[in-house]
Amino acid sequence: MRIRRIPVSRMLGWLLLGLLALPLSAETWFVRPDGGTRYSSRVHNGQCDGRADAAYPGKGTDRHCAFSSAQYLYLDGTYGFSKWVIAGGDTVVIRGCAALPGEQNAAPPDCRIGYGNAMNKAGICFGVNDCGIPPPPSGTAANPTRILGGCAYGRYTCSPVMGYPYAKDNLTQLYGGFGLGTVLSLAGSRHVEIEGLEFTSHNGKCTRVGYPQYPAGCSSGYPMSDYSNVGISFSNTSSNILLQDVYIHGFTGQGIYGPIGGPVALNRVSVDFNAFAGWNFDDGHSTPDAPGSTITASFVRMEGNGCLEEYPIVHKKFPALSCWDSDDGGFGDSWSGQNTKLDSFVCDHCVMAYNTKDGFMGPHTQIHYLKITNSQSYSNMGQQWKWGVDDGATVLFEDNLTVGNCRRMAEAMPGARPGFNRYLSLFCRAAGDIISFYGAPNSTALFADDSTVGYSATTFDISCGSSNACSSSKFIFRNNIVLGFLDPKYGSGEVPGLFYLGDHSVKLTTDHDLFYNLRSKPCPYFGPTTLLCTSPEFENQPPSTLSSEAQMDHFNFHPKPGSPEVGHGMAINGITKDFFGVIRPNPPTIGAAEPQR
């Protein structure tokens, strides 16, 4: 047999191509309070290279040790220089920071991002626009770029704040100040993971939104006020982003800002007490989300947006210094999509509460696949739920708890600062619906195993994008409880209506539902014998006429044993547990909760 000889030069070429195809070796970089300054080709007296989880030994330059500030990851202190020291696919571990030279209002081990003082004459940021953390270099699906707090590295121990009363978490804190626009930009970044980090501002002294500006307006000129406007910003080229164990709060603008450019996942994320909005997808230029944009949110909380947060936090149950709505120079949406088009939005175990506008998402969205499960919305000043869909869309709204108490923030709240609501006025805006949404041709919406209570004017406000557009659409209500209340301080002195149909083409089907104490008379109008029109008899159910907003606080959605809805539901494919994780029997209880055992 004849053996073909391959030239050595060709073999070497193939070997080189093979090596180039392999993933580059990823580096891990470290920041810790006992680290040192950054060594670079421009700063020869820098102490550390940032490549070891070790303290600066106390002498020498270019030692194998951690940086002492997160800003050394992209700044070296020379004028006009800003460039990441890391490459795509690298990992950054931020355990905490030391104060930079001359830093004003330093709070180590928390990490200041931005200028060092009110005159930009301290720290290491000079001649760089904005001085926030620039977009991290993109990783790959197999090797993402990772920016981690110390709790997310090694043995995973992160414990983020998820609801109030406030308790200090173990996340590494990055705080912006002295007029910083954005703490972290993700514009154009792809395959990036952000974990175990807290983004905030040590402000509490000034606001950039609201009228009047209380306690004062922020100065963006020298001397600058110590505030920051945005926690994390996106663009419609940001994709494959993970935020996990992340807490964003206390900004004068938005917690999160901008459209997206692909898949984004949020897991155990809290976005609270940002003075303008929680996540505002509108970048001010009507930039659309890119095709293929999706949001997958799990255990996400948005609370108190539209309110300027205290600093330091004193009122741990509700740390609002002052709040504003759209009538008072503010805004207050939690999720806000003014020009948003998403392929899908999945929200599981989400909570939207005490925002000064809508709880979820706004009517200017077009979502093709929307799934909201095991989630809550209550005490928001506008609609508790609000969205729009496109042609052929699917909506699944299952196992959710909703309280339509849009006047809650008009009264004092336990644990809140007296007078936090002095500038609020636009309670129950946009007709005071509890749930308002747009349908589209050939779309399907299933509301199943939900419990909704409240006094707002209308429970379900269903419209279509254009006249007669919903004749081919299905709106199905199954295993739901709707319980109305009367609030003498709201509206015209009537209990809520059940359905308001904004277009004659909307057709509903209902079965195994319980509707009670409503202005409209569902029995016998909706026909099926499976429909119940009697009180659900919840545990500790308030009287039908309320005397105080506080009576709806911490509403107990568990039915009493023997309540009419117990065992009168219909088993639904895919729903095996109630809101609280209890296994559903067959037949199940109507509503989101089985009786307590």
Condensed to tens digits (0 to 9), the pLDDT of residues 118-135 reads 999 999 999 898 899 999
> If you average pLDDT over every residue of the chain, what do you get?
93
CA angle centred on 399, ends 397 and 400, rounded to 5°: 75
Q: What is the pLDDT of residue 522?
A: 81
- Token pair 């336990």 is found at 414
Q: Residue 512: phi, psi to the nearest 5?
A: 55, 35
Whether the predicted model's global pTM rises above the 0.85 cut: yes
Tens of pLDDT along 315-350? 999 999 999 999 999 999 999 987 789 999 999 999
> Among positive and negative, which fits the CA dihedral 397, 403, 409, 413?
negative
Residue spans per domain, the chain: 24-103, 135-357, 390-400+433-597
Q: What is the pLDDT of residue 274?
A: 98
Q: What is the pLDDT of residue 24?
A: 52
DSSP 581: S
Angstrom distance (rounded) from CA 264 to CA 458: 33
Tens of pLDDT along 180-219? 999 999 999 999 999 999 999 999 999 999 999 999 999 9
Q: Is residue 436 scored above 50 in pLDDT?
A: yes
Distances (CA, A) of 338 to 117, 281, 397: 36, 7, 22
Q: Is residue 20 scored above 90 in pLDDT?
A: no
Burial class (CB in 10 A: 0-12, 13-18, 19+), 397: buried
Q: What percent of the chain has pLDDT over 70?
A: 95
Q: What is the pLDDT of residue 575?
A: 96
DSSP 21: H
> Residue 154: CB partners within 8 Å, gap ≥ 6?
none
Tens of pLDDT along 81-102? 999 999 999 999 999 999 999 9
In contact, 551 and 440? CB cutoff 8 Å? no
Element (DSSP H or E) covering residue 108:
none
Q: What is the pLDDT of residue 22?
A: 39
Tens of pLDDT along 518-533? 998 888 777 667 899 9
Q: Residue 398: phi, psi to the nearest 5?
A: -135, 140
